[in-house]
Structure formats: C-alpha cells, structure tokens
Structure 1
Amino acid sequence: MIDFEWYRSFCMIYKYNSVSEAAKVRMMTQPAMSQHLASLEAEVGEVLFNRTSRKIVPTERGKQLYSQLAPLIESLEETTMNFKMASLPTLTFIKLGTAHEFYTEKVLPQLHKSNSSVISNLGTADQLLELLKEDKLDLIVTSQKVPTPGIEYQSFMDEEFVIVAPMHYKIPDIDSLEHSEGWLSSQNWISYGLDLPIIRRIWREHFKKRPVIRPIHIIPNLHMILKAVENGMGLSVLPTYLLRNLDEEKIKVLFPELRVNNELFFAYKLKDKQLPQIHEMMTIIRESE
C-alpha cells in the first residue's frame, strides 16, 4: 500500500533534482527521504529517477507520474491549509520587504487597500532574502531569483531602465552603435554601486562588451540619483517608473533604444504559500503596474 508521504517526497525530489535538498525542505533526514523514494519505486515497479554524480534526473515514467501527482497534492495541501486557517485566529499583519525606491513608488500609494497591517522593511535583495529565510519577513519583492530550499518565486513585472541626462547635455550627431558607446563611455556617470548595476547590463546587451567607466559618484538610492542628474552632475540609468512625473526642464532620456528590462519577483516561504495576506498583498502590488 502506497503511503501519501512517499508521493510528497517524490514531488519534492522532482522539483529540486536532489534528495538532499528535498530532505531539507521537508525537514527530514536524507536516508528517510531516500527510503521514501525507494519504497515508491518498488511499489510502482519502475525506476523514477536516473542518478548522476551531481543530481538525479527523472525518467519518462517519473515525468509522467509527477504530471499526475503535482496538481493533486497541491490541491490537497491547499485544502489542508484552509482547514488549518479556519481553526486559527485570523492574522492581521504581514511583514513585507522591498527596495526603498520600489516601496515609495509602487507600494506606498497602494497601501491603503490592504486589509492587514503591514510591517515594512526596506533593503537590498541580499538583505531581504536573508530576512525571509529567517522568518522575519513573509513576502519580499526582489530582482534576484536565488534558488533557496523552502522558498518559492513568482515573476510579476519587468522594470524598464533607460539612460538619463541633464537637459542641457548636448549630444553630437552619432551614426553608429560604436560611436554611441564611445561617446557614452567618455561622459560623467553616477552609479548605484561600484559594480555598475544595470549600466553593465546595457553595455552587455547592446554593445556586447564590458563598460569601461569609472563613475564620478556612487549613490545607493535611485531617488537621489535622479536628483543628482537633475542638478547636472552626469548621466545615469533609472527605471521608467521614476520618470512618470519627469521635469522636462531638468532631465531627458538619451538613446531610448538602449533600454533594458529587469525582471522582478515575489518571494515567500513555501510553508506560507496559502496565507491570504500574502495573496492579497501580491494582488495589491500587481495593481500598481
């Protein structure tokens, strides 16, 4: 007789391509997880994974079984969570983490729509992920999808970044991508970090090379970078959502064809996946697009 827990372990191994990672997520020992898989394979009568030195790969029978089991187990876990939620006091708060600029522009104007109290934490992607892993946050908005046991990501929007300059900047007649790159490289730049985040993306995607730029200022705040550009200090790269109320007398977009997109994700603990506060907050933030 097949134990339901074997199915749950099989699906987790399938998802992570690793018995050890699946064991961590399920909070089991690796031998116990291996025993679940061995028992299920014995019951099915076929091997469900091929083992390699680095990971395990599902067989055709394994793929077929997963496609049948995954929606059933997800539905059952959702039903179980609903039963648990019905018997618990309703949680009235959610701990949310985002970057400062995204929070100001996208979350704060929507916050009045939340039926829960929101405890906000602002920081970098690395900082927010650590807080999520430590259960100090329930939901984060991040531009980095770092595979982490027990954490699920949902893509929900693309940030669009463009090159901006003070209005007084005069651009020479440029007839090629090579000349654009040369002129841009010779300008004064303001960057969010020494590693030239996003600026490096523009060079890689459009010029197929690394930027040879030494920024004159490092300012780890997009609103302050916008103000610095308005004050005539140099060029930078900013998300278009910061430019919706652009002061056309102070700042302008250069070379709009050189724009790049940066994917944003929601991230939360798998164990909290069905919490209504998380779903409500994700819906609210999506409405800000």
Structure 2
Amino acid sequence: MVDFEWYRSFISIYKHNSVSEAAKERMMTQPAMSQHLSALEAEVGQPLFNRISRKMIPTERGKEFYSEIVPLIEALENKTLELKLNTSPTCPVIRFGSAIEFFQERIQPILNNENFRFIAHFGLASELIEALKEDKVDLIVTSKKYQQLGIEYTSLFEEEFVLVAPNELLIPDFQNKVEMENWLNKQNWLSYGLDLPIIRRFWREFFNKRPQIRPVHIIPNLHALLNSVEMGLGITLIPTYLIECAMNDQKAKMILTNYKIPNELFLAYQVKHKSSPEIIEMMNTIKEACESR
C-alpha cells in the first residue's frame, strides 16, 4: 500500500534536486527520505530520479509523475484543511509570532475577531524565524528576510523610524550636517540593543559612517524606550505608529523630521501552509489592520 508521505517526500526531492535538502525541509533523516523514495519507485515500477553528482535529476517518468501528483496532493491537503475548519467545534487557533510591541499595537485591537484564537509568541527576528522553521508558530511578522528553505515572505507594510526627544529639549538650528551630528553626539542616547539597531542605519544613511555614541541605557522594549524619553532620560529612534499618544500628551516630540529611516515588515510562513484558508484569512486581517492605521 502506498504511504501518503512518500508522495510528499517525492515532491520535496523534486523541488530541491537533493535528498539531503528535502530531508531538512521535512525535518526527517536522510536515510528515511531515501527509503520513502525507494518505496515509491518500487511501487511505480520505474526510477523517478537519476543520481548525478550528488544531484537528483528527475527522469522523464519522474517529470510526468510530478505533474500528475502535485495537483492531487494540493487538492487533498486543501480539502483536509477545509474540513478541519468547517467541522472544528471551536475557532481555529493561529500560533502567531512578532515583537511584543507590534502585537500590542496592531494585533491586540483585532483580538475581538471571533474567527480566530491566538497563541502569541514574542521574540527577536532570529528567534521568530527559528520558531517558524521548527513549526512552533504558523505565521510571524519580521523585519528581516532570512534565506531559509521552505519559508516564504510577503510584504506587510513599511514603518518609519524617527528621532524622538523629551518635549522640553531645545533643538538648535543647524547650518549643516556636521553641526547636526556634533549636537547628536553630545545627547544622551537610549538604544533598543547593544548593537545599536536602527541607530547604526541612521548614521550610515545620513552621515556615511558608524555612530560613535555610547548609549546611557539599553532598553529592549519600544514602549519602555519611549517612556524613558518621556521621562527625560535621552533621545532615540522610534517607529511613528508608537508615538502618537506621547505627542498628544506633550511628553515627547519628533525632531529632525526630515531624517527618517524606513523599515519594511514582512509576513512569513511555511510554504507548505501557503494554501491554508486560516493562514490566508489571518494575513488579510493583519494587512487590513495595518492599512487602516
């Protein structure tokens, strides 16, 4: 009897031209992947690949078999997901990963959506992509695109980081960038991390060099970072969507507003889930939430 997993392994080998890469994508051992292929070839009665220089080159029968089997497998997987969605006694669960600040600002407002239940996972971009690879989350929002097999990205929106300072801080009129940089170097800086994320990009973009500043505080949370600015502890770079309330309360202000750093955010998911109705609907819901604010 043919095992359904043999087909999935065959498709993965076909896509990667490699048993080892297919094994990584499916999180299997290489011998197990080879056994799947051998069993399927025995069932078909013909070789499906030629082994050439460590590459798996599909035979003519392999190419034909691939074109025959892929639509059937995709249709079966989609139907299984539809049945699960329609018969589930509760709302489908979405395991979602992002920075905690993004979740609070963009996702919490849509939690009253009765079509989903969330299991939230917070972390840095590197941590989130590892969670996605290990199938601990279904969907993540990230500012970095890692070249990982089986992971696909789609653009979400472009945020802007701006310089934010305590409301009482006086900003001089600068005659040139040299004066501006000298003034910035004398300020108390707050940073999200020791490696000065975004601050390094700001200096490279506008001064063509690395920053020479030493932050007075490292605060790896954007809300806490903004709160520290409001308390007069220093200046920093904050995404614009976070600072509206602080400006309305006249606790903080944007400065040097012509100097902004764009930062694109992406939705990332495993390719094997790209046709999932839940994932598609959730991505559309998140995109709508970001576009409406």
TM normalised by structure 1 equals 0.77
Give the whole-Å Cα distance in 1 for the aligned partners of 2:24 and 2:280: 25
Among 76, 79, 85, which residue is 2:81 paired with?
85
- Alignment-derived partner of residue 220 in structure 1: 220
The number of aligned residues is 259
Q: Is this contact kept in 1: 2:95–2:138, CA < 8 A? A: yes
Is the Cα–Cα contact under 8 Å of residues 157 and 266 in structure 2 kept in the other structure? yes
Quote the residue 2:267 is aligned against: 266
- Matches of 2:251 and 2:152 in 1, distance apart? 42
Aligned-pair RMSD on alpha carbons? 3.1
Question: Which secondary structure state, in structure 1, belongs to the residue aligned with residue 131 of structure 2?
Answer: helix
Could you tell me how far 1:279 is from its partner in structure 2? 1.5
- 1:255 maps to which residue? 256
**1:153-199 CA-partner distances (Å, limit 9, x unpaired):** 22211121000111111122212122212211111101111111111
After the TM superposition, which residues 103-252 of structure 1 pair with which residues of structure 2 at under 5 Å, given as runs?
A: 103-245=103-245, 246-247=247-248, 249-252=250-253
| 2:276 is aligned with 1:275 | yes
What fraction of aligned residue pairs are identical, expressed as a percent? 44
What is the distance in 2 between the residues matched to 1:128 and 1:5?
26
Q: Which runs of 5+ in 1 are unaligned?
A: 45-64
- Name the CA shift for 1:130/1:25 in 2 (closer, same or farther; >3 Å): closer
Alpha-carbon distance between aligned partners in 2 of 1:23 and 1:113, rounded to the nearest angstrom: 38
Q: Please list the CA deviations of residues 72-109 of structure 1 after superposition, one character each: whole Å capped at 9, or x if unmatched.
A: 99866542322222454547211111111000100000
Cα contact 1:166–1:231 (8 A) shared by 2: yes
Structure 2 CA distance for aligned equivalents of residues 142 and 42 of structure 1: 36
What residue identity is the alignment partner of 2:148?
T
Are 2:132 and 2:139, in contact at CA under 8 Å, matched by a contact in 1? yes
**Structure 1's 74 and 241: CA in aligned 2 closer, same or farther, altered over 3 A?**
farther
Cα distance, 1:231 vs. partner? Answer: 1.2
Please tell me the residue identity of whatever aligns with 1:142: T
2:81/2:277 contact within 8 Å kept:
no
Structure 2 gap segments, 5+ residues each: 1-6, 38-46
Q: 2:24 — aligned with what?
A: 24
Counterparts of 1:116 and 1:4, CA distance in 2: 28
One-letter code aligned to 1:269: Q
In 2, are the aligned partners of 1:96 and 1:138 still within 8 Å (CA)? Answer: yes
Query: Once the two structures are superposed, what CA deviation does each residue of 1:99-152 show, in whole Å capped at 9, x if it has no partner?
Result: 110001000001212502111122222222222222221111111211222222
